[in-house]
Structure 1
């Protein structure tokens, strides 16, 4: 079995992907809330 040292793997790509996912999710939720408020104000 190969020797593995905990914490030695390069995870920069995974970190960038996760940060991009968080940014997308945050912006999507904000846009959805703005859309819902827009509908509540202007829809009859």
Structure 2
């Protein structure tokens, strides 16, 4: 089993994945809010 050393892990992939996840969530929320506003206007 590999020995663990604190602070030795490369976190670049994790940071890129998290940034992509946050970007996806923000876009999804904006889309959902836009759909809700559209539905409120149309059903007025």
Q: How many residues align?
A: 44
* Alignment RMSD: 1.5
Alignment partner of 1:28 is 2:33 = no
Cα displacement string for residues 8-34 of structure 1 (whole angstroms, at most 9, x for unaligned residues): 100111110010000000010011001
Instruction: Quote how far apart the aligned CAs of 1:37 are.
Output: 0.4
Unaligned runs of 5+ in 2: none
TM, length-normalised to structure 1: 0.81
Structure 1 segments, 4+ long, off by >4 Å, are: none
